Structure 1
Amino acid sequence: MADNSSGKVTDELAALDFAAVSPEEFARIVKGLSAKQLTEVMHGELRTRVLGEVFGRMKQQFRPEAAGALTALIRWKITGDTEAVYETSIADGTCTVSEGRSEAEPRTTLIMADAEFLKLVSGNGNPVTMFMMRKLKVAGDVGLASGLTRYFDIPKA
């Protein structure tokens, strides 16, 4: 897919049933696209579907044994045409995800563009490198943010 025009890539992604795409297949799709292509496909209804599916799967990919007694609210701000905000709450060995900003104070907030978000959640981006290159901004508990990937089964492409 990487060498196709953006329109063709967008059409192919729009035709996908994201609920039927495995995390590993999603990781391969993301790996095959450039940052520019990832940004170009993240518009409108397709962006809403992709973000909804990724955050919808976090609960299933959560590793309670790794989180132990951790209690934390993580706010995700994904910038693009519009800012999308989701929150991941980890407490009592469970993970819940909600769309939108709550009144609660997050322990950490992760801010990144669409392409960086997709790379991060698909295992195609190194969070430390992204942070050092200012592609991922962290507000609050940087230590928690740096270890978040160990609390989830991240696919490998």
Structure 2
Amino acid sequence: MTDFDPARFASVDPQEFAKLVKATPDAQIAQVMQSDVRGKVLDEVFNRMPSLFRADKGANTNTVLHWVITGGPDGSSDTYEVVIENGTCTTAKPPQREPKLTLTVGPVEFLKIISGSANPVMLFMTGKVKAKGDLGLAASIQNLFDIPKA
């Protein structure tokens, strides 16, 4: 990405990351997400999710969500699990439990969703996000996290 240095990614705060995603052309994001740093980027994103979880909004939510991020090297996909229960959020790779909802999305769209640069409902309506399972949950997921605004 534009000023994106995967070696220092862990020190980039969510707000700065959101600005980087917004300022970087889609083709460049796609190139990074097809490279050998893809795993590091995705791992860091999912490792941060518990700290961005809004327990006040998700206290009564008990669910298992799988994110399938397509567009990896040689057409590969990565699947991550997000578990929300008892007012907490945890993540895992590979998934350990049966999901209530599986979201399948390309790497560019995924980074735009989690950085607040794209509307997930519009991406779903245009077929860029595919949802299988509890569609009501899909509509409310973004409210469960402090998504930075670029």
* Alignment size in residue pairs: 147
Distance (Å, rounded) in 1 between the aligned partners of 2:6 and 2:90: 28
Deviation at 1:69, TM superposition (A): 1.5
Distance (Å, rounded) in 2 between the aligned partners of 1:27 and 1:117: 12
- In the alignment, residue 152 of structure 1 is paired with which amino acid? F
Question: Are 2:29 and 1:35 equivalent residues in the alignment?
Answer: no
- Alpha carbons of structure 1 residues 50 and 94: separation in structure 2 relative to 1, 3 Å: same
Question: Are 2:71 and 1:80 equivalent residues in the alignment?
Answer: yes
Structure 1 stretches of at least 4 aligned residues deviating more than 3 Å after TM superposition: none
Identity rate of aligned residues, in percent? 42
Deviation at 1:16, TM superposition (A): 4.6
| Larger CA Rg, structure 1 vs 2 | 1
Q: Match for 2:101 among 74, 97, 108?
A: 108
Residue of structure 2 equivalent to 1:4: none
Question: Are 2:93 and 1:93 equivalent residues in the alignment?
Answer: no
Q: TM-score, normalised by structure 2?
A: 0.93
Q: TM-score, normalised by structure 1?
A: 0.89
User: What's the C-alpha RMSD, in Å, of the aligned pairs?
Assistant: 1.3
Deviation at 1:63, TM superposition (A): 0.5
Match of 2:4, SS state, is: helix
Residue of structure 2 equivalent to 1:62: 53
2:61 touches 2:84 (CA, 8 Å); kept in 1? Answer: yes
